[in-house]
Amino acid sequence: MRTQSLDALERGLGYRFRNRGRLERALTHSSFAHELRAEVRDDNERLEFLGDALLGFLVSDWLFQVRPDFSEGELSTLKSVLVSAANLRRYGDALSLGDHLRLGKGEEKTGGREKPALVVNAFEAVLAAVYLDGGLDAASGVARRLFGDQVREIASGRWRVSNFKSALQELLQSTGRGAARYRLVEKSGPGHEPRFTVEVSIDGEPGALGTGATKKQAEQSAARVALENLRAKGPCSA
C-alpha cells in the first residue's frame, strides 16, 4: 500500500497513526489474509467487532448528552439510524475506503471495493484501529469530525427521525434481514374520525402493532414500536 495513499486517508480521518500497521490491518480483508497463508490471520474482522461496539457507545453518549429531552425510544431510534449500514457507507465512501482496501484476487475480481458490507466493515475497523493507537479521546475525535453535521443538527432540533419506516428498513438491512411487511388489521371509528390499526411483520413473524388516523400514520407507529422492540432485545436481535 502506497504511503501517499495512507497519508490521504489519515488526512480524511484527521488523525495520524503512530503505528500504521494498525491502519493497514483495518483495511485488510480476510481474502487478502488467506492468500498470504499466514498461521495467524491478520485481517480486520476482530477490529470490526471492536469498532462496532465502540461506535455504538460513542453515538449513545453523544445522543444522551445533546438531547436530554428525548425518551429512551427516541434515542434508540436515532442511534439505529446513525450506526446503520446505510449511514456508515456514506462516511466510508467519503473516505474512499473502498479504494484503500487490501483484497484477495478473487474478491477484487468480483467488485469487492464497491460492496457496501466491506466498506462498512472497514469503517468500523478503522475506528477501532484509531482507538487502539491513540485511545478513546482519539477515536471520539475522529468520529465527531465525521458525524459532526448530523450530531449538530440533532442537538439543534433540526434533525430527528420522523420516518420510522425508513429507519426500521435501514436497521433491518444493516443486519441482513428482509424487508418489513405492513398489513391493515382493522379500520374502526366513524367515517369522519377513522382509526386504523396496522401490523408490521419482520421475516414473516409479527413484529408490532400501530394505530393512527390514517393508514400511513398507523404504519409509522407500528414501525416505531418495532424499532424500539428490536433495540430492547439487543444487538443479536437488531
Tell me what percent of the chain is helix, strand and coil, each rounded to the nearest 5: 65, 10, 25
Helix (H) or strand (E) holding 141: helix 136-156
Catalytic residue among 43, 48, 52, 199: 52
C-alpha cell of 231?
433495540
Which of these is catalytic: 43, 48, 107, 124?
Answer: 124
Catalytic, 43? Answer no
Per DSSP, the residues of 27-74 read TB-HHHHHHHT-SS--SSHHHHHHHHHHHHHHHHHHHHHH-TTS-HHH
| Coil/strand/helix, residue 101 | coil
Q: How many CB atoms lie within 10 A of CB 34?
A: 14
Task: Take residue 210 and report the three cell numbers written for it.
Answer: 400501530
DSSP assigned state of 84:
S
Give the CB-side neighbour count of residue 83, counting CA atoms within 13 A: 25
Give the number of residues written for the chain.
238
Contacts of residue 78, defined as CB under 8 A and 6 or more positions apart, other chains included, come to: 63, 67, 70, 154, 160, 161
What does the radius of gyration of the chain's CA atoms come to, in whole angstroms? 21
Q: In the block, which residue shows the cell 487478502?
A: 32
Q: Specify whether 52 is catalytic.
A: yes
| Catalytic residue IDs | 52, 124
